[in-house]
Structure 1
Amino acid sequence: MGKQYDVVIVGSGPNGLSAGIVLAAKGLQVLIIEGAETVGGGTRTSELTLPGYYHDVCSAVHPMGYLSPYFKTLPLEEFGLEWIIPKASAAHPLDNQEAVLLSKSISETAHNLGIDAEKYQKIVTPFVDQAEDLLSDSLKPLGIPSNPLLLMQFGLKALQPATFYSKHAFEGERAKALFAGCAAHSVLPFDKFFTTAIGLMFLVTGHVENWAIPKGGSQNIANALAAYFKSLGGELKPSTKITDYKQLPDAKKYMFDTDPIQLAHIAKDQLPPSYQARLNKYQFGPGVFKIDYALDAPIPWKDPRCLDASTVHVGGTFAEVAASEKDAWEGRECQRPFVMLSQQSQFDTSRAPEGKHTGWAYCHVPNGSNKDMTQAIESQIERFAPGFKDTILAKRTMTTQDFYQYNPNYLGGAITGGAADIFQLFTRPVARIDPYSTPNPDIYICSASSPPGGGVHGMCGYHAAQSVLKSLKIR
């Protein structure tokens, strides 16, 4: 007879690892099973192009990871995690004018915005001043907020579609473009409710601290979490793909850091058909097409200040970004896509050989799209950085299918745990009083398909683990 565990967790992404840490810290016997050879899920780093060039396979820049209310309580620095803070969070280049820069200084950012400088400061300052409460209340399931008035003030703006909010909040194109780049992280068309929430939240995080990157690559977030988990007595079992519940060792409780469809498949004999049907109806939203670059030199931006930002939002005006996101949602590949680009080697020399650089760029595409977007992405970068193509030494592309093969949580190339529209923002994966529970009292979900959703912050795993502790009657 095999070992009896208190909890077995399937999947070692940041949420699975966070859940494991919460439970192991309570003295429980916890096993995390991972299908791949290494832990990490969406936080892995690899030499994808040439030897010595270290690319983040999925997530690259981590404002929510650095500011995570849970990660802040963990001694991850003692386990090898080192954060690098760039000079600016995001740059948004525009045609025939200076780029807009989002940096920690509200006044410096506002100074970029011309006619909207004063309005912008009035909008973000109250939320930045109380960012700790705002993040804590936003990164948890529905319940009683710690600061109800603040959350109500934020919610009145956050509820609005980004197109409506931008039209009424700002006059000039510069502020609208900056907001559009941040709102596009929602992976939703801008006429959807709550797209303003994502835009405002990314602006606020950029003023709390410039968007951080982990030294050496995103893999080091996972490595630090895993090392801390093991220091608490937790066990890790990599290279073990779970496709059937019968493969799991004996345990009191099981947690799944997987998407809802995998959960429905693996636990098909343990969950009622009606609940499985609801899991199988889960909406994932657009996928992504990504390119990793080995570069001979820094990207030659027309505005060299773009090199100060860990992230560059490449897409032009608000209207252009909005059109790109709408196309992806409605099943079309945009010919001038909005591109999210990261240049980690500007701040972390360990990512590339001396004098060389890495580039990381992706755009949103229809779920399951098999179209090669290389030319469209590079044309957009060349638009604001003429001569970029001449710096390319090697590149590697990833289609939506490549992402799915890399991580089966990314169905159709959707990397954020599923669409966060009004129908799934608060009821992911299905509507339940305890969203982490299932009709089977021994089975829980803790992935980005549960509240509060996508991002490397570990909060889905943290809150799911609280639910498990409650069921085990452990305070």
Structure 2
Amino acid sequence: MTLLDAVVVGSGPNGLAAAVTLARAGLGVRVLEAQPTVGGGARTLAIPELARDMLFDLCSAVHPMAWASPFFREFDLPARGVELVAPEVAYAQPMDGDRAGLAFRDLARTADRLGPDGGAWRDLLGPLAADWRQVTALAMGDKRTVRGMLEGVRGAGGHTVTASGLASMVRPSLRFAAALLEQGGPRWDRRFLTEEAKALLTGVAAHNITPLPALSGAGTALLLGALAHADGGWAVPVGGSQAITDAMVRDLEAHGGTVEAGRRVDSWSDLPPARAVLFDTTPSTVLRVAGDRIRSGRHAALRRFRHGNAAAKVDFVLDGPVPWRVPDVGRASTVHVGGTRAEMVAAEDSVAHGLHADHPVVLVSDPSVADLSRLRGSARPLWAYAHVPAGSTQDITEAVTRQIERFAPGFRDVVVGSRCLPAAQMERHNQNYLGGDISAGAATMWQMVARPTLAPDPYQVAEGLYLCSASTPPGPGVHGMGGWHAARRALLREFDVRSLPDLRP
């Protein structure tokens, strides 16, 4: 049997980023995907029982990292025909009464809408938005090396770490750290006066599905909050998330790589012979498939990797837009439905204690707000995630419907159909989502840094064996960085290739 240079197990954005990077370096690469379709969390699929001619995003439909991450900036999706469109309102936070927090692409307009908190919002997020390249590089780094951080601020096609590059990171890093400590601790309530501003930022922090306040949640809020006011906003790929995956597969195949869907890997014997194997999976899969090849100390550390709380998903078909009480909320592709900061804190605390919240935090996305191609006449897809305890088997359709109806009276009247995917069933569609953990590992501050372990190299787990999934730095999201970082190490150690290949079209 022919010896391959590299095999990648799993075809999520990180696995494909690793495969593309290796193939661009001239290596023979094969990607193995257990599901019948490619893309992991970046897939767009039909749900025949809901609508025959409508597509639904399996995971997120909104992708600020598709233009902002260092990998995708160099890969350049728009140059490959992927149209990224961003709504005028990046995200919204409806509240009881005729109130709502709105994060416009325009920072000044956001500040104006927040009234007495406008200046505080501008002071917090304005400098981070202005330095979005440096802030993104800091957040998307390998959490271990200076080089892993500086790769995010180099120019496309350039691969040299310079003193000026390091200097450019100092001020944004200090500013980000100060904001992180403020918003991730007991002082988080001191900056803002209004419930709208407090809730608006908390809704973004809640993406981490962790008790709040928390440093990890604050990091997410600051990064994504800054990108909302930066060049590309909270972008939606026209046609769905699958457009991102398809562009990566086309590039991989153009450089000699192959993808095999429906190819499950349960043991080492399921793998073709290769000089390097990269797993876009959770540590538990690596241990099951290749545990006897991993030294006992690293093996034990990987066994201690902890998964987090969960999300359950409801896909809706609507006959018309969501009738938000505050009409401007309908201008956002992403709506955080959870009420006030205090309500969201209570809901996340309930989930952390293994309970279903009476008023759960719900993330709602209507991609057709930005991408009109998703409409089918007056009908449109709407997806919603509710935060629930890990492994929950509960159908949360009614809880989600009730929570949306609270801020959008008449919502039930526009629902044509729905389908719930309980947290316990999420891994049937993506094996990395154990128990509904869509972050592929608890998003605590410790585990965001020591991910998957505190080893100096978070990617190489044994000779010729690498982990490149969201279970490695920088963590969850459609950014490709885990795969890019792991591929750089594999190129150096297994193939003596000392610089990353150019990824531009």
Q: Same fold (TM over 0.5)?
A: yes
1:350 lines up with 2:373 in the alignment: yes
Q: How many angstroms apart in 2 are the aligned matches of 1:245 and 1:178?
A: 47
Hey, what does 2:217 align to over in structure 1?
195
Hey, what does 1:55 align to over in structure 2?
56
Question: Which amino acid in structure 2 is aligned with residue 175 of structure 1?
Answer: A
Q: 1:38 Cα shift?
A: 1.5
Hey, what does 1:35 align to over in structure 2?
34
* Structure 1 residues 164-183: aligned runs within 5 Å: 164-183=186-205
Hey, what does 2:338 align to over in structure 1?
315
Q: How many angstroms apart in 2 are the aligned matches of 1:259 and 1:267?
A: 12
Deviations 1:91-122 (A, max 9, x none): 11111133211122111111121221111111
Q: 1:159 Cα shift?
A: 3.7
Deviations 1:266-289 (A, max 9, x none): 112211344223222211111111
Q: 1:332 Cα shift?
A: 0.9
Q: Which range is displaced more, 443-452 or 158-167?
A: 158-167
Q: Calculate the TM-score normalised by the size of structure 2.
A: 0.91
Q: How many angstroms apart in 2 are the aligned matches of 1:312 and 1:247?
A: 42
Q: How many angstroms apart in 1 are the aligned matches of 2:216 and 2:411?
A: 35
Hey, what does 1:340 align to over in structure 2?
363
SS at match of 2:348: helix
Q: How many angstroms apart in 2 are the aligned matches of 1:317 and 1:123?
A: 20
Question: Which amino acid in structure 1 is aligned with residue 20 of structure 2?
Answer: I
Hey, what does 1:117 align to over in structure 2?
118
Q: Which range is displaced more, 254-263 or 371-380?
A: 371-380
Pick closer, same or farther for the CA change 1:200–1:418 going to 2, 3 Å.
same
Q: Calculate the TM-score normalised by the size of structure 1.
A: 0.97
Q: Which range is displaced more, 405-414 or 72-81?
A: 72-81
Question: Which amino acid in structure 2 is aligned with residue 458 of structure 1?
Answer: G
Q: How many angstroms apart in 2 are the aligned matches of 1:273 and 1:389?
A: 55
Q: How many angstroms apart in 2 are the aligned matches of 1:76 and 1:124?
A: 26
Q: How many angstroms apart in 2 are the aligned matches of 1:194 and 1:357?
A: 34
Q: 1:192 Cα shift?
A: 2.9
1:107 lines up with 2:129 in the alignment: no
* Structure 1 residues 9-28: aligned runs within 5 Å: 9-28=8-27
Q: How many angstroms apart in 2 are the aligned matches of 1:324 and 1:330?
A: 10
Question: Which amino acid in structure 2 is aligned with residue 9 of structure 1?
Answer: V
1:424 lines up with 2:447 in the alignment: yes
Count of residue correspondences: 473
Pick closer, same or farther for the CA change 1:112–1:465 going to 2, 3 Å.
same
What fraction of aligned residue pairs are identical, expressed as a percent? Answer: 37
Q: 1:79 Cα shift?
A: 4.2
Q: 1:163 Cα shift?
A: 5.6
Residues 67, 76 of structure 2: 8 Å contact kept: no
Deviations 1:236-277 (A, max 9, x none): 111100000121111111100000111111112211344223
Q: How many angstroms apart in 2 are the aligned matches of 1:320 and 1:394?
A: 29
Q: How many angstroms apart in 2 are the aligned matches of 1:422 and 1:47?
A: 36
Deviations 1:357-407 (A, max 9, x none): 111111111110112222211111001100000111111111112211111
Q: How many angstroms apart in 2 are the aligned matches of 1:201 and 1:79?
A: 26
Q: 1:306 Cα shift?
A: 1.2
Residues 65, 72 of structure 2: 8 Å contact kept: no
For 1:293, which of 309, 316, 321 is the aligned residue?
316
SS at match of 2:442: coil
CA RMSD, 1 decimal? 1.4
1:210 lines up with 2:209 in the alignment: no
SS at match of 1:96: coil
SS at match of 1:220: helix
Question: Which amino acid in structure 1 is aligned with residue 480 of structure 2?
Answer: G
Hey, what does 2:490 align to over in structure 1?
468
Pick closer, same or farther for the CA change 1:41–1:221 going to 2, 3 Å.
same
Residues 437, 445 of structure 1: 8 Å contact kept: yes
Uncovered stretches (5+) of structure 1, i.e. residues with no partner? none
SS at match of 1:258: coil
Residues 7, 28 of structure 1: 8 Å contact kept: yes
Deviations 1:33-81 (A, max 9, x none): 1111221000111122211221111121111222121111114345442
Question: Which amino acid in structure 2 is aligned with residue 349 of structure 1?
Answer: L
Structure 1 segments, 4+ long, off by >6 Å, are none
Question: Which amino acid in structure 2 is aligned with residue 421 of structure 1?
Answer: T
Hey, what does 1:248 align to over in structure 2?
271
Q: 1:153 Cα shift?
A: 2.0
Question: Which amino acid in structure 2 is aligned with residue 100 of structure 1?
Answer: G
Residues 17, 483 of structure 2: 8 Å contact kept: yes
SS at match of 2:248: helix
